[in-house]
A and B are shown apart, each in its own frame.
Chain A
Amino acid sequence: MSGAFTKSMARNIFYGGTIFFFLLFLALSFDTHSQLPKRDMRANITPQIAEGKKLWEVNNCIGCHTLMGEGAYFAPELGNVVVRYGDEGVKAFIKSRPKEGIPGRRSMPQFNFTDEQLDAIVAFLKHVNSINDANWPPNSQG
C-alpha cells in the first residue's frame, strides 16, 4: 500500500463501510418482514403447531435431522417428510423405534410420545412443509 493511503483513511472507510452495509442489511431485513406473512403461513399457526415446534426443540431433533436444510446431516430432511411418508406414516415410524436401536444401524431414539404429541409434531412438520421456501428441496427425498 502506498504512503498516500493512511491509517486514518483506512479507519474511516471501515466505519463508513460498516455502518452503510449494516443499514442496508437492516433495510433488507425490514422489507423481508413486510413480505414474510405471505410466505411463512403465520396465519395458520395453531396452538397445536406451536406445541409441535416445542416438542421438536426440547427433543433436540435438529441434532440429527435438517429442517429446511438446516441442522445436522446424520438423518433425513424433515421439512418435507410428510410428502414422503404421509401423516400416518410419520407417526407410525416415530412410534415404532426400538428402544435399544437397530444393531449396526443408525437409529432414532424411542421418545415415548403420546398420541396428542405425535399429532402436534406432524402438525408442525406439515406447517413447515407449507412454507414457501423457493421450491427447496429439489425432490421429495429431501
Chain B
Amino acid sequence: MQFKSQAVAKPYFIAAIGLFVGQILFGLILGLQYVLGDFLFPAIPFNVARMVHTNLLIVWLLFGFMGGAYYMIPEESETELFSPKLALAMFWIFLVAGALTIVGYLAVPYATLAELTGNNILETMGREFLEQPLPTKLGIVVVALAFLFNITLTVLKGKKTSISIVLLLGLWGLAVFFLFSFYNPVNVVLDKFFWWWTVHLWVEGVWELILGSFLAFVLIKTTGVDREVIEKWLYVIVTLTLITGIIGTGHHYFWIGTPEYWQWWGSIFSALEPIPFFAMTVFAFNMVNRRRREHPNKAAVLWALGTGVMAFLGAGVWGFLHTLAPVNYYTHGTQITAAHGHMAFYGAYAMVNLMMISYAMPILRGRAANSNKSQVLEMWSFWLMTVAIVFITLFLTAAGILQVWLQRVSDAPLPFMVAQDKIALFYWMREWAGVAFLIGLIVYIASFFVGGDEKEAA
C-alpha cells in the first residue's frame, strides 16, 4: 500500500465481514419463522431477529464505508491519514457499542432495554431500522463525528480530488440526516415524515454518493482510465442521483397522511430513479472496456461490474415496479417491498463494500492481488451470492403478487394470515435460496484463506 495509515482499514473490513455473517444467519432464522411460525419462539421472536438482521446490515455497511474511506482517502489525498490512532480507537468503540446493542436486543425484552437505556429521557426507540437504544444512537454520532473529523482533515491537508469531495459530501450527509433519528414527535404523521429523512435520504440519496465515489476509485485503479473521464462520469451520476432521489422521497408520502400531491411528485421523480443506476452500469462497463491496463485483481473488477448491474436491477427496476402511486396503492407494505429491499441493498451497498474489500484487502495483506486459486473461489462466491439474491427476490416477488391479489384485489379479500398460509411454498423456496446465499458467503470467507502464488505488490 502507498501509505502506512491505510492499514487502519483492515480491522474495519474484517468486522464488516463478521457482522455480515451474523446478518445472514439471522436472515435464515427469519425466513424459517415465516414458514415455521413457532421457530425459536418465545426466546427470539420475529421482531427481535428482524431487528438484529437489519441493524447488523446497517452496521456492517457503515464499517465497510468507514474502512473504505480510510483506505481510499490517504491515496486520493496523497498524504497519511490525519490520525490513525483516532481511527483505531473509533473502531473499537463502534464494535463494542454495536456488540452490546445486539446482546441487549437478544438478552432482554425490548421494553426492558428501553427502560434501562434511558428511552424515557428522549424517546427515539421502536421505529423501524432506528431501534437502537439512546446510548447507541449517541455513540453512532460520536463515532461519525470523529470519523468525519479525521477524514475531512486528511483531505484538507492533502490533494482535493473530485472523488474525495463526493465521498465527503456523502459521509457528511450521512451524519447530518442521521440526526433526524432523534426527532420523534407524538404526532405519528410527522414522526413518519421525518423518519424518511434519515432512511430515504440515506439509501436513495447520500449513500449513493459514497457508492459512486468508491466505484470511481476502484475503476481508476483497476482500469487505468484517465481520472478526468472517470470523475466527469461520477459527477453526472451523482447529479442524476440527487435530482431524482431527493424529490423521490415523495414515493413514501403516498399513504401516511401527507397531501395527495405527493402521489404526483413521488411517482414522477422516483420513476426517474433507475436512470442514475443505469448510468452507473454503463459507466462501469465502459471504463472496463476502455481499460489501459490488465489489473491482476479480476475479482475486484467483477464486483465493480456486478454492483452496477445489481443495483440497477434491485434499486432501479424492482423499485420502479411498485413506485407509481396507483400500483403502490395495492403493493404498499407487502412482500413486493421486501423483494425490492433485498436486491437493492445487496446490489448497491453490500456489493460495493465487497468490491472495495476485494480491491483493498490483498494490498493491505502485502500483495497486488490474491492468487488465481483464491480469486476463482471469490468469483464463485460472487455468483453464488448474486444468483441466490436474484432467486430470493423472485420468490418474494411471486409471494408479493399473490399476497396483493389474495388480500387486496380479489372479489373476496382474504385475511392476512389466511393469505400468508396460501403462499408458504414461496417462502420455503426463498429460504432455500437463502441457504445458497450462506454457502456463497462461506465460500467468500474461505477465499481469504486460500494460498497459491500471490501477485507481487505493485
Chain A positions near chain B (C-beta within 8 angstroms):
1, 5-7, 10-11, 13-14, 17-18, 20-22, 24-25, 28-29, 31-32, 35-36, 39-40, 42, 45, 49-50, 53-54, 56-64, 66-77, 99-107, 109-111, 127-128, 131-134, 136-142
Complex contact A40–B123 (CB within 8 A): no
Is the Cβ of B186 less than 8 Å from the Cβ of A58? no
CA–CA, A15 to B47, complex, Å?
41
Q: Is A69 a contact of B415 with CB atoms below 8 Å? A: no
Chain A positions within 8 Å of B252 at CB level:
70
A58 touches B232 (CB 8 A): no
What residues on A are CB-neighbors of B262 within 8 Å? 28, 32
A99 contact set on B, CB distance < 8 A: 42
CB contact under 8 A between A72 and B50, given known A7-B228, A56-B126, A133-B257? yes
Q: How far is the CA of A40 from the CA of B260 in the complex (A)?
A: 13
Secondary structure of the B contact surface, majority rule: helix
Complex CA distance for A31 and B51, rounded to whole angstroms: 34
Q: Beyond A14-B239, A128-B188, A141-B407, is A134–B254 a contact (Cβ under 8 Å)? A: yes
Residues of A within 8 A of B372 (CB): none
B110: chain A residues within 8 A (beta carbon):
58-60, 63
In the complex, A1 Cα to B225 Cα: how many Å?
14
Q: How far is the CA of A7 from the CA of B237 in the complex (A)?
A: 12
Please state if B47 and A72 are interface contacts (CB–CB under 8 Å): yes
The answer on a CB contact under 8 Å between B50 and A74 is: yes
Are A58 and B114 closer than 8 Å at their CB atoms? yes
Of the 9-residue stretches B61-69, B241-249, B350-358, B362-370, which lies at the interface with chain A? B241-249
When distances are taken between beta carbons in the complex, the residues of chain B under 8 Å from A6 are 232
Instruction: Give me 15 A-to-B residue pairs in the complex whose CB atoms sit less than 8 angstroms apart, sorted by A's number.
Output: A7-B228, A10-B236, A13-B236, A28-B250, A40-B257, A53-B186, A67-B188, A72-B128, A73-B333, A75-B46, A100-B41, A104-B37, A109-B45, A110-B42, A134-B254
For residues 171 through 210 of chain B, which have their beta carbon under 8 Å from a beta carbon of chain A?
184, 186-190, 192-193
Q: Residues of A contacting B420 with CB < 8 Å?
A: 106
Known A63-B50, A133-B255; contact A36-B190, beta-carbon cutoff 8 A:
yes
Q: Is the CB of B257 within 8 A of A68?
A: yes
Closest to B186 in A: A50
Task: Tell me whether B141 is interfacial, beta carbon within 8 Å.
Answer: no
Q: Which residues of B contact A31 (CB under 8 A)?
A: 259
Residues of A within 8 A of B414 (CB): 141
* Alpha-carbon distance A11/B193, docked complex (angstroms): 31
CB distance from B37 to the nearest CB of A (A): 3
Asked whether A18 and B37 contact (CB < 8 A) given A69-B255, A137-B408, the answer is no
Q: Min CB distance, B186 to chain A, in Å?
A: 5
Q: How far is the CB of B323 from chain A (nearest CB, A)?
A: 14
Q: Does B278 lie at the interface of the complex (its beta carbon under 8 Å from any beta carbon of A)?
A: no
Q: List the interface of chain B (C-beta within 8 A of A).
A: 33-34, 36-38, 41-42, 45-48, 50-51, 110-111, 114-115, 119, 123, 125-128, 131, 162, 184, 186-190, 192-193, 228, 231-233, 235-236, 238-239, 242-243, 246-247, 249-250, 252-263, 265, 329-330, 332-335, 337-338, 407-409, 413-417, 420
Residue from B38, B188, B238 within 8 A of A102 (CB atoms) = B38
B38 touches A104 (CB 8 A): yes
| A135 vs chain B, min Cβ distance (A) | 8
Cβ-defined partner of A10 (8 Å) among B184, B187, B235: B235
Given contacts A5-B232, A21-B247, A63-B48, contact A32 B253 (CB under 8 A): yes
Given contacts A21-B246, A72-B50, A138-B329, contact A59 B258 (CB under 8 A): no
Contact (A73, B338) CB under 8 Å given A14-B238, A103-B38: yes
Cβ-closest chain B residue relative to A84 = B415
A40-B190 in contact given A21-B243, A64-B46, A76-B416 (Cβ < 8 Å): yes
Closest chain B residue to A34 by CB distance?
B259
Q: Return the chain A residue nearest B333 by Cβ.
A: A69
Residues on A with beta carbons closer than 8 Å to the beta carbon of B407: 141-142
* Chain A residue at minimal CB-CB distance from B269: A21
Are B189 and A107 in contact, with the CB atoms below 8 A? no
Query: A14 to B239, alpha carbons, bound, how many Å?
Result: 5
Taking a contact as CB atoms under 8 Å apart, the answer to whether A25 and B247 are in contact is: yes
CB-based contact A17/B239 at 8 Å: yes
With contacts A76-B417, A138-B330 taken as known, whether A54 is within 8 angstroms of B123 at the C-beta atoms is yes
